[in-house]
Every structure is written in structure tokens, then in C-alpha cells.
């Protein structure tokens, strides 16, 4: 019997995360995501996913030092980014640059656990540098070199904008990275593990994951949320009327509901609170205000139908990122900057207990056909 989309099929055992969609629960290695988002940093979560425990101060300091030592990508990658068409898709550019990184890594084809752990640090350190450099180059600006004294979130915002961000912005970026770091056997993680299952190298597996994440049904969802918000603003229509009309046409309002969560996406709760902090800090809040109106309108429309539908993390990340001054087409690359930690953690598991992933397919085509001579076909 076929199972379209492999829904409900268990394809692996993992110690990394668990999702309870009915309860709206997400845990990383035993810790609730709400607890982690409020009380840890992205670097601590990276350590947790890679080592299945939180670090002590000395271990965190050492990881931060090792990450900072790998921030730079080298002139070869910068020149590659310069050579790309200025209108290149941002995810295609990231995918291309990550693939090229393998050519300059002498350990690229070493699948030992020690080498893969070093590569995980390199990838996590270099991907923010690539994304920031790509954005500046396409705008006719010079890339800004990373600073070893800044952690991942602060460094990314510095390289992107050319100035240090304030504490609220840094904390918001850091929490967003924590919230997106891992999420079970999603499409990109599965793609990575399928590639690693052939005993291909970690870079190839990550490139496969980036290809899956690029799709609008996966990593591109928050970009589509922002497109909807811009459409509402440009139309001049009241958000409540826009939502009503969109639903009446049978269209989906992006940022609501989730393939897994049937209750509130726990990541959305934390991000909404951060949005409030940004607004209290006197930032430009029109997108956050508009998001709130759309959320209220969706709640009203669903109540009329006797249904409940909740905003997901993509709904709030769209307006939060835009308020931070981040270009819309960088939303998915930022997703990748975070998720590289979860991908590589899954790859450690896959390589440690590998079996080629080879599901069956039910054949539904014809049988018994006979080849006719080409002259009579």
C-alpha cells in the first residue's frame, strides 16, 4: 500500500528532537524549545545538538573560539560570489558557494566522525559570511570581514549592515536561530540523510538539504508570508477584508497551520514576544502591526467556521526579519544558517549507524505491452 509523502512512516531513530503536533510541543535533546529560546544562545544549542548535552562555560568558550576561527571563507569563495549574476537566486548562490567550499577543504571526503565534526563547525561558521557577502556584492558594496569577537547572530548582522546591531536586534536574531536549528525529519533533513546514506560526503549531503530547503513548501514559507503582507499594504485594502476575500477564493493565507502542528507552533510564541520587544524599542513596526491585524482577521474567520488555526513560526519571522532590515529573499538562507546545526547533527547519526535509505514504490503503470516496429508506431 502506498503512503503519499511518507506521512506517518518512521524512517530513522534520533536522539535530537521530538515534536508533538497535538500538544504543540518541540524538544531538542530533552529540552523544551521555549526553555532553550529564553535561556540559551545559538552556540549553546549547536553544542547541544552535536554532543547531546549543553556545554559548560569552558566548552562553550572553546566552541565559540573554534567557530570564530572559521568565519572567513577565503578569497576564492568571495570571487565566486562576485562572478555570479547580480540577480542570482539567494538560495542558489548559497548552495553553489557551499558546494565550492568542499573543493578547498582537504577533509571534504573524510567521513570519519572527527573530520565530520570539524566540517560541521566550518559550515556553521562560514554560511553566515557567505550570505552576508552575497547580499552586499549584489548591491554593489564590498563584503565586510567577520569579527572574531562577535558571536554568530551579532556577527551576521554586522557583516550584513556594516555596523554593530543593538542588543535587542542581536537577541532577536539569536533566538530566531535557536528556533530554527532543528525540527525532526523534515524534507531537507531527510534529503541530507538520504545522501549521507550512500556514504557520500557531508558537503554533498548539505547541498542536497539546501536544494530541498529552497522549495516554497519548505524553507520559502516565510518569504511568501511577507509577499502577502506587501500585497495587503499595496492594495490599500483592510487586512480583515483581504483575508475574507482570500479565503472566499479558496486561497491559503500563508503563515497559518503546519503539516505537523495541530496546536500553536511553540516557536511562534517566543518569536511573537520578541516582536513586542522590538516594537517597544521604537523600531519601525508597520509590518508587525499588519501581522497582528491579519492574525486577528484569521481568528475571526476561523471562528465563523467553527475551526481553530494558529500562526506558525514563519508568520512572525517574516515581519521580524523585515523589521530588522533583512531583504525578503534572505529569509530562507537565514533558515539554512540555523538549520545547518540540525542537519550536521543528523548526519553524525546517519554516518554512525548507516544503512542505505531505499524505500519501495508501488508500480501503477501498464503491463504486457509489446514493442512495435518503429515504422508502425
Q: Answer yes or no: 180 catalytic.
A: no
Q: Answer yes or no: 61 catalytic.
A: no
CA distances from residue 6 to 11, 194, 204, 342 in whole angstroms, order as listed:
9, 14, 23, 21
The SS3 call for residue 182 is: coil
* Active-site pick, 174, 180, 183, 258: 258
CA torsion 10-11-13-14 (nearest 10°) is: -110
DSSP state of 102: G
Rounded to whole angstroms, the Cα distance separating 292 from 229 reads 11
CB 221 within 8 A of CB 335: no
CB 343 within 8 A of CB 206: yes
Buried b / exposed e along 182-217 (16+ C-beta atoms within 10 A): bbebbbbbbbbbbbbbeeebbbbbbbbbbbbbbeee
* Active-site pick, 135, 174, 201, 314: 314
CA distances from residue 324 to 21, 171, 249, 294, 331 in whole angstroms, order as listed:
30, 11, 33, 20, 11
Dihedral sign computed on CA atoms, order 319, 325, 330, 333: negative
Q: Which amino acids are annotated catalytic? A: 258, 314
Amino acid at each position: 500500500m502506498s503512503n503519499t509523502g511518507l506521512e506517518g512512516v518512521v524512517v530513522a531513530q534520533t536522539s535530537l528532537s521530538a515534536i508533538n503536533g497535538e500538544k504543540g510541543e518541540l524538544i531538542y535533546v530533552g529540552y523544551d524549545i521555549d526553555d532553550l529560546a529564553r535561556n540559551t544562545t545559538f552556540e549553546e544549542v549547536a553544542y547541544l545538538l552535536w554532543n547531546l548535552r549543553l556545554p559548560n562555560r569552558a566548552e562553550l568558550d572553546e566552541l565559540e573560539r573554534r567557530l570564530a576561527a572559521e568565519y572567513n571563507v577565503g578569497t576564492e569563495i568571495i570571487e565566486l560570489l562576485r562572478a555570479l549574476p547580480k540577480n542570482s537566486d539567494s538560495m542558489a548562490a548559497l548552495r553553489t558557494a557551499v558546494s565550492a567550499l568542499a573543493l578547498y577543504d582537504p577533509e571534504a571526503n573524510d567521513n570519519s566522525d572527527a573530520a565530520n565534526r570539524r566540517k560541521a563547525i566550518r559550515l556553521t561558521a562560514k554560511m553566515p559570511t557567505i550570505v552576508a557577502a552575497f547580499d552586499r556584492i549584489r548591491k554593489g558594496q564590498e563584503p565586510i570581514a567577520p569579527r572574531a569577537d562577535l558571536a554568530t547572530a551579532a556577527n551576521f548582522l554586522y557583516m550584513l549592515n556594516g555596523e554593530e546591531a543593538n542588543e535587542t536586534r542581536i537577541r532577536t536574531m539569536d533566538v530566531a536561530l535557536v528556533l530554527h536549528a532543528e525540527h525532526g525529519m523534515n524534507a531537507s533533513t531527510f534529503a541530507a540523510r538520504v545522501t549521507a546514506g550512500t556514504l557520500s560526503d557531508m558537503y554533498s549531503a548539505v547541498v542536497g538539504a539546501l536544494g530541498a530547503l529552497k522549495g516554497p513548501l519548505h524553507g520559502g514559507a516565510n518569504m511568501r508570508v511577507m509577499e502577502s503582507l506587501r500585497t495587503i499594504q499595496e492594495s490599500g485594502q483592510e487586512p480583515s477584508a483581504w483575508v475574507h476575500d482570500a479565503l472566499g477564493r479558496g486561497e491559503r493565507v500563508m503563515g497559518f497551520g503546519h503539516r505537523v502542528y495541530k496546536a500553536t507552533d511553540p516557536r511562534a510564541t517566543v518569536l511573537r514576544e520578541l516582536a513586542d520587544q522590538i516594537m517597544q524599542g521604537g523600531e519601525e513596526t508597520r509590518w508587525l502591526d499588519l501581522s497582528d491585524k491579519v492574525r486577528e482577521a484569521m481568528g475571526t474567520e476561523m471562528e465563523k467556521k467553527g475551526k481553530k488555526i494558529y500562526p506558525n513560526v514563519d508568520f512572525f519571522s517574516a515581519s521580524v526579519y523585515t523589521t530588522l532590515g533583512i531583504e525578503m529573499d534572505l529569509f530562507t538562507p537565514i533558515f539554512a544558517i540555523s538549520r545547518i546545526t540540525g542537519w550536521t547533527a543528523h548526519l553524525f547519526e546517519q554516518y554512525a549507524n548507516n544503512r542505505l535509505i531505499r524505500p519501495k514504490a508501488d508500480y501503477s503503470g501498464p503491463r504486457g505491452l509489446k514493442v512495435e516496429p518503429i515504422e508502425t508506431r
